Structure 1
Amino acid sequence: MPDPHSGHPLGGTGRDTPDVVIVGGGHNGLVAAAYLARAGLGVLVLERLDHTGGAAVSARVFAGVDARLSRYSYLVSLLPRSIVADLGLRFAVRSRPVSSYTPVRRGGRDTGLLVTGEESRDRAAFARLTGSEREYAGWRRFHGMTRRLAERVFPTLTEPLPTREELRARVGDETAWRAVFERPLGEAIEEHLADDLVRGVVLTDALIGTFASAHDPSLRQNRCFLYHVIGGGTGDWNVPVGGMGALTDALAGAARAAGARIATGHEAVSIAADGRTAEVRYRTADTEGTVSARHVLVNASPRELAVLLGEEPPPRARAEGAQLKVNMLLRRLPALRDRSADPREAFAGTFHVAEGYRQLETAYRQAAAGRLPAAPPSEIYCHSLTDPSVLGPDLARTGHHTLTLFGLHVPARLFGGGADRDERLREDLLTAALAQLDAQLDEPIAGCLARDAEGRPCVEARTPVDLERELRLPGGHIFHGDLAFPHADPYGDGTAADPGDPAARWGVATGLPNVLLCGSGAVRGGGVSGVPGHNAAMAVLGR
């Protein structure tokens, strides 16, 4: 790997002009680098930070504690097996033994809904919660519909973009098409399901990092929902063995093995392109330089691309993130108020907190009015129950566990009043989110937290302003902006791209023929998938 502080990122390699420069060494940039280098092109990756991986990294978050947490992104669903096979990655995922657990107090007793995927158990769980089998039947119908969508839509993500009508024909189910691609998602949820808690469990997939209501006419919630239920053709969300950094370490290794050069500590500051050649200016800690190439792939947001080109960001590039990410290390799992639930099952899947249907709408309305939600909704899971390899031997032996909390409806608009105010808001939000969790526990979560080497509780919170500062995500938006439908008219507004342009056919066009998006802001971007990186590489090779 080149010295991060060398004067030229290609110094001493014998090849001064690469075919492709990739701006950003996150997972999508590394996927593109590996594909292009394996095809025989000269590839240079410029990464601002001193390490690759972007938001898909593992880190020892707490001082002196031997636990490698997936610091930002944390589960895998959208990564196609074909990318892992094509690039020969030594990387694995494990399925979670439980889909979800949602605690609730009903009829004066603490109970909950545990969804395992085992029909007999799930049928009984729904019956205990609702008193009849009708809700389970509606649940099965709804998820049968999303399963068919997954089977038919997911394979298209690594193909040239279909037109809207081509994708509609491929789906082959008009009811499913209208429910997800044409009508606000809340309508379909309310048609299939009656129970408020069950409706909320379904709706959460539409709100991950997306600030919207169930009936938002923009359908941004529908687009988010689609990507959360089609992964792998099944909709399953899996645990990356070794943490998320295991994936990006494998990708960096594959790119280097194929001949790509990765220059960390090299920040791209501008791009000049005329459609045939391009020049990227970069800087390091102690120098500046330029590198020319035929193609530039940008693994950054559309807003950052506009900044690099010296242009005004388009309206769609002005994104707003809306989440709280909390990393914790526990000495032990807490006991639950619902004594019928085993914490090792409840926390193995997605543990829903304050995510009833009405609760989600109330939190959205409060945040839209500029207030922190009184009962912040969140979902929680324990990586180490499925993959204990992220814990050092002593921690694993003594029963320690990681815990990840992902909070919804925390829009960036609530922050930005200065560092001190943002810090107070972060602490207030963390306190409120943990209080909602405590309401479902038989003991405070604070009493279960491990301590770091300096005696501090092992808990770390990140808001949209933190993600913008640390990772340059626009407005802290984890998808670089609102997700797009995976067809050639991605926002349903008639702005389909030129089908004669290879970059447009693959959903990675920018308006400059030799400058392509290869990050989450591309059509079919978002999440840890590698799909935009693959598709940008295919567009380059297609030329």
Structure 2
Amino acid sequence: MSEPDAPVSADVVIVGGGHNGLTAAAYLARAGRSVVVLERLGRTGGAAVSEQAFAGVDARLSRYSYLVSLLPRTIIDDLGLDIRLARRRYSSYTPVPGDAEGLGLLVDRNDADATRASFADIGAAEDAEAYAKLGDDLGALAEALWPTVTEPLRRRSAVRTALARDDLWDEVFERPIGEAIERRFASDLVRGVVATDALIGTFAGLHDASLDQNRCLLYHVIGGGTGDWDVPIGGMGAVTDELARVAREAGARIITGAEVLSVTPDGEVRYRVGEHGVEQTISAEKILSGAAPEVLDRLLAAGGATPATGAAHPEGAQVKVNLLLSRLPRLKDAAVAPEAAFGGTFHINETATQLEAARAAAAEGRIPNPLPAEIYCHTLADPSILSLELAASGAYTLTVFGLHVPDRLASAAAGGSEAAHDELRDALQAAVLASLNSVLAEPIEPLLLTDADGRPCVETKTTRDIERALAMPGGNIFHGPLSWPFASDDEPLDTPAQRWGVATAHERILLCGSGARRGGAVSGLGGHNAAMAVLEELTIARATLSS
């Protein structure tokens, strides 16, 4: 049953208590606005949570999202967030598929000579310099774009002028990124290492005319002005718990277990707390939606209103697998320590050729074989997510992100029956483990710890699982197609909401989630920019009154 003191009005109602909604709530409450956050789940955090995934096992995994790159220092400092991030020494390790000696490419940020030697070991010595040059070029791109993401949108031509690199602009913003990758690198493996940043979570090809892959690459390489992806100490839940703390201390009211049923353009939000709770209504000057644009349109339809975004149904393209191991597995390449290989991003079966073949297979409705994937080991940088006993035993977590597993596969299975979807999940899990085993010196299965019920500690999430758990349509982790972090030269930027990239078709409703311009990943940018638009509008209104 709903709380008896449930508010009936607020300056701002925020739909969704994920990291973006919490960011917006903290900024607005600190500015003196009355804020109510309505979160459907029983806890805040959305996809950025730490949870005990395995029964009776004291390990709190970053269950859905797990690394931080796009959360600006500006937001951390503005809100006084106590967040610690660990920088990883190794960028990546990529075994050569099918190599008899198990050779692999190890990119070590702290040892340029060792990295060059590793390129030479896999027969790609000529690509070492090109790889370093790409890093310099992407650094220039990050330097030009990163400071703008917490500012009103700049025009496309202004960003191009600021970059002052027509060659780089054409590669990233005008032509499919596959052309630049193929022009810069000769090795199929090195091409794949670079290409994964353009494809992860995006069902695109390297040469797609849509340039979806280019936008995906862009957001992967500009974070923090360096493109580094850091490990949050304490897990992802530590990040969103801190955002929730700051928002509450500033005066924001956060109601969990609150399912929003409808919204209207005049600021009315209808919701229910608990499955059998009484429906309630709250009115607001502004509604900020942290939900996916498609979900917002559904809520407006339920309130009898026209869509706010007209978003098409998005499609996610990944499978996520969490594992808890008794120790790290041995590698075929005896010259590389597992702690180094798993210390960055561990790429498996992700040559450019394999990536393109996997996409073609998935487009035909088949599970890719081998399934391209990349692995992250949180506990090498942060053992605090394990109990002292587990950490002392030598246990490690692995998180696997499988590419080119589009939601159409899950949709086809779900269209049959729940049992058919369970079979798909099992088949995807088997494909991921088989892909991993293909590059290891021993199978991964005997290393899996067991939970309190004697089951192996492995958890697999399809796009359908993610949609059900997090209300992300199509299991799309970005809430929809990514957008350029700037406005076109002829785009209207007349209102604060337009200038900050959070406008919808309804003046009182703004986007504040990953579906906003410059949204996607754990960044807080959607929440920050929506809050800035609300505060800018308030400033304009006060100036108008005073004049």
**TM-based fold match above 0.5:** yes
Conservation of the 8 A alpha-carbon contact between 1:184 and 1:219: yes
1:167 deviates by 1.1
1:9 deviates by 2.8
- Within 2, Cα distance between the matches of 1:369 and 1:342? 38
Conservation of the 8 A alpha-carbon contact between 1:7 and 1:287: no
Aligned to 2:482: 483
Aligned to 2:540: none
Q: Which amino acid aligns with 1:374?
A: N
1:373 maps to 2:368: yes
- Residue 209 and residue 377 in structure 1: after superposition, are their counterparts in 2 closer, same or farther (change >3 A)? same
Conservation of the 8 A alpha-carbon contact between 2:343 and 2:377: yes
Residues 186-209 of structure 1: CA distance to partner in whole angstroms, max 9, x if unpaired?
Answer: 000011101000000000001111
Query: Superposed, which structure 2 residues align to 1:277-426 within 5 Å?
Result: 278-285=267-274, 286-310=277-301, 311=306, 316-416=311-411, 417=415, 418-426=417-425
- Within 2, Cα distance between the matches of 1:284 and 1:155? 40
Conservation of the 8 A alpha-carbon contact between 1:415 and 1:422: yes
**Aligned counterpart for 1:135 among listed residues 112, 127, 130:** 127
- Residue 84 and residue 19 in structure 1: after superposition, are their counterparts in 2 closer, same or farther (change >3 A)? same
- Residue 542 and residue 445 in structure 1: after superposition, are their counterparts in 2 closer, same or farther (change >3 A)? same
Conservation of the 8 A alpha-carbon contact between 2:96 and 2:104: yes
Conservation of the 8 A alpha-carbon contact between 2:307 and 2:505: no
Conservation of the 8 A alpha-carbon contact between 2:309 and 2:504: no
- Within 2, Cα distance between the matches of 1:107 and 1:542? 58
Q: Which amino acid aligns with 1:363?
A: A
Aligned to 2:188: 196
Q: Which range moved further: 427-436 or 240-249?
A: 427-436
Conservation of the 8 A alpha-carbon contact between 1:503 and 1:509: yes
Residues 212-264 of structure 1: CA distance to partner in whole angstroms, max 9, x if unpaired?
Answer: 00000000000000000000000000000000000000000000000000001
Aligned to 2:467: 468
Aligned to 1:516: 510
SS of equivalent residue, structure 1 residue 162: coil
Q: Which amino acid aligns with 1:125?
A: S
Note the residue ranges of structure 1 that are not aligned, 5 or more in a row: 11-15
Q: Which amino acid aligns with 2:298?
A: V
- Residue 42 and residue 444 in structure 1: after superposition, are their counterparts in 2 closer, same or farther (change >3 A)? same
1:8 deviates by 5.0
- Residue 131 and residue 257 in structure 1: after superposition, are their counterparts in 2 closer, same or farther (change >3 A)? closer
Conservation of the 8 A alpha-carbon contact between 2:48 and 2:65: yes
Aligned to 1:205: 197
**Aligned counterpart for 1:120 among listed residues 113, 118, 141:** 113
SS of equivalent residue, structure 2 residue 269: strand
- Within 2, Cα distance between the matches of 1:373 and 1:120? 36
- Within 2, Cα distance between the matches of 1:410 and 1:448? 26
- Within 1, Cα distance between the matches of 2:346 and 2:527? 32
- Within 1, Cα distance between the matches of 2:433 and 2:311? 34
What's the RMSD between the two structures over aligned residues? 1.3
**Aligned counterpart for 1:170 among listed residues 152, 162, 170:** 162
Residues 338-367 of structure 1: CA distance to partner in whole angstroms, max 9, x if unpaired?
Answer: 111100110111000010000000000011
Aligned to 1:13: none
Conservation of the 8 A alpha-carbon contact between 1:141 and 1:192: no
Q: Which range moved further: 119-128 or 40-49?
A: 119-128
Residues 448-480 of structure 1: CA distance to partner in whole angstroms, max 9, x if unpaired?
Answer: 111101111000000100111110101000000
Q: Structure 1 length normalisation: TM-score?
A: 0.95
Conservation of the 8 A alpha-carbon contact between 1:70 and 1:243: yes
Aligned to 2:260: 268
1:155 maps to 2:147: yes
1:312 deviates by 5.5
- Residue 326 and residue 389 in structure 1: after superposition, are their counterparts in 2 closer, same or farther (change >3 A)? same
Aligned to 1:440: 439
Conservation of the 8 A alpha-carbon contact between 1:307 and 1:313: no
- Residue 7 and residue 410 in structure 1: after superposition, are their counterparts in 2 closer, same or farther (change >3 A)? farther
SS of equivalent residue, structure 2 residue 314: coil
Conservation of the 8 A alpha-carbon contact between 1:323 and 1:463: yes
- Within 2, Cα distance between the matches of 1:139 and 1:271? 49
Q: Which amino acid aligns with 2:495?
A: D
Q: Which amino acid aligns with 1:333?
A: L
- Within 2, Cα distance between the matches of 1:116 and 1:473? 36
Conservation of the 8 A alpha-carbon contact between 2:182 and 2:191: yes
Conservation of the 8 A alpha-carbon contact between 1:44 and 1:263: yes
1:29 maps to 2:21: yes
Query: Superposed, which structure 2 residues align to 1:81-100 within 5 Å?
Result: 81-100=73-92
SS of equivalent residue, structure 1 residue 99: strand
- Residue 342 and residue 469 in structure 1: after superposition, are their counterparts in 2 closer, same or farther (change >3 A)? same
How many matched pairs? 526
Aligned to 1:529: 523
